[in-house]
Amino acid sequence: MHSKLEILVGDAIKAEEWPKFDLCVANLPYQISSPFILRLIKAGRGYRCAVVMVQKEFAARLLAQPGDKLYCRLSANVQFHCKVAHLLKVSRNSFRPPPRVDSAVVRLEPRHPKPPVSIREWDGLLRLAFLRKNKKLSANFQGQAVAKLLYHNCQTVLKANSSFLTTPLVSCTATDDVFAMESRIAEILRASGFDGKRARTMDEDDFLRLLLAFKREGIYFG
């Protein structure tokens, strides 16, 4: 057994890279549940599944569907990349001393084939869409802060690809500025029919169509 067991001590959230693994089994403290699950998604699809115990409400967020009260960025992110299943409830009375809340055990299995979307792009879009999930997207995407972020992303992609592109990217032109970007964002939302939508009611197909609408205009989220 000693020759097959390697114990690594460290902070799973702060570690730059995770070692290769086949299964993940964890009893997650509430304060790291969300960053751990998101880090698990970014770890890739080289593992079979993860079985984790989390607080009951957190499990409900993982499983929430569009329109549900608890549906959020976490729900959309995890379900896009993984199949999520509720395995069992764990009463607070199962522990000594008992915590204040009940727990649940859930199983996450990476989707195969993996979604044809960059994790950074997908999460970047969700961050803005769920900024205020009950507000219309036209409200969440307006303002100079969003325009500056997307303008910066636009310029970064152009610079990164300028050396080997044979045809120019459809993206920010030299005459674009933050105010012009605000107008472009509003027009894309209007033309795609998403300006009046709210993130809390949108499913993964909606978010994919929205992401594609922005990418067609050379606007990137990661």
Is 18 strand, coil or helix? coil
- Is 9 exposed, middle or buried (CB count within 10 Å of its CB: 0-12, 13-18, 19+)? exposed
Tell whether 27 is in a known binding site: yes
Q: Which amino acid is at 95?
A: F
CA distance 129 to 134: 10
Concatenated DSSP letters of 164-176: T-SS--SS--TT-
Residue 176, both tokens: 């674009």
53 known ligand binder: no
Strand 23-27 with 49-55, pairing? parallel
- 177 belongs to an annotated ligand binding site: no
Report the binding-site residues: 1, 11, 27
Report the binding-site residues for S-adenosyl-L-methionine: 1, 11, 27
